[in-house]
Amino acid sequence: MSITINGQRVEAPGDPRVSLLDLLRDRLGLPGTKKGCNQGACGACTVLVDGERIISCLALAVQFEGREITTIEGLAGADGLHPLQRAFVEHDGFQCGYCTPGQIVSAVAMAGEAARGLPSAVTSDIAAAAIPLTREEIAERMSGNLCRCGAYNGIVEAVAETFAAQKREEVAA
Ligand code: FES
Ligand code: FES
């Protein structure tokens, strides 16, 4: 039984009680995904499963047999950091950095959700094919990712700039 993590196949743990978060951090040496609350309240442990964001502290690793997991370690490409990682640096989107991997991974999936027209609680046109990422939308959609340092202004700036830039590239293509 195997799980694909950042493109590498790994054996699922024999113990079905091991959380996905503990598999990543304690058994696979991938400490980028953080353990904040360990009870589903802070978002520090966010990872992607087949491109969708989940909180890994409340997920059992054995659930993900045959699935593709992406962690913060897997976001950077051959040409370096993911654009959102660079934007976090440019916009001071962190202070201590503990929440940052979860913020970045969550925002990548969040942008995809908006682009596919999945509405949030603040979306005015829920029938829109794609929903613009206004600051209000970003704040609402990222509300599951807490930052105890209060770096929210920089986080929103980084997310807004990155996905607005991607939109411009898509239009130009
Ligand atoms: S550590 Fe998983 S939500 Fe806080
Ligand atoms: S940067 Fe410290 S918790 Fe967010």
Mean local confidence (pLDDT), 59-77 = 96
* Dihedral sign computed on CA atoms, order 141, 144, 145, 146: positive
Q: In the prediction, which pLDDT does 168 show?
A: 67
Q: Is 101 left (phi over 0), alpha (psi -120 to 50) or beta?
A: alpha
Structural domain including 109 reads: 83-172
DSSP E strands in 6-112: the ranges are 8-11, 46-49, 52-55, 68-70
Query: Do residue 113 and residue 68 come from a single domain?
Result: no
Q: Is 31 left (phi over 0), alpha (psi -120 to 50) or beta?
A: alpha
pLDDT of 105 higher than 80: yes
**pLDDT tier, 164 (very low <50, low <70, confident <90, very high otherwise):** confident
Residue 149 CB less than 6 A away from ligand 2 = yes
Query: Do residue 96 and residue 168 come from a single domain?
Result: yes
Task: Summarize pLDDT for 10-61 with one digit per residue, the tens.
Answer: 999 999 999 999 999 999 999 999 999 999 999 999 999 999 999 999 999 9
- Predicted TM-score (pTM) of the model is 0.94
Query: Do residue 104 and residue 64 come from a single domain?
Result: no
Query: Do residue 43 and residue 96 come from a single domain?
Result: no
**pLDDT tier, 171 (very low <50, low <70, confident <90, very high otherwise):** low
Query: Do residue 61 and residue 90 come from a single domain?
Result: no
Question: How many domains is the chain built from?
Answer: 2
Boundary-marking domain end, from 49, 74, 99: 74
**Which of 72, 98, 152, 153 should be mutated for ligand 2, with most atoms under 8 A from CB?**
98
Boundary-marking domain end, from 74, 108, 134: 74
Query: Rounded mean pLDDT of the chain?
Result: 95
Query: Do residue 69 and residue 18 come from a single domain?
Result: yes
Query: Do residue 88 and residue 68 come from a single domain?
Result: no
Mean local confidence (pLDDT), 163-169 = 75
**pLDDT tier, 173 (very low <50, low <70, confident <90, very high otherwise):** low
**Proximal ligand: closest to the CA of 98:** 2
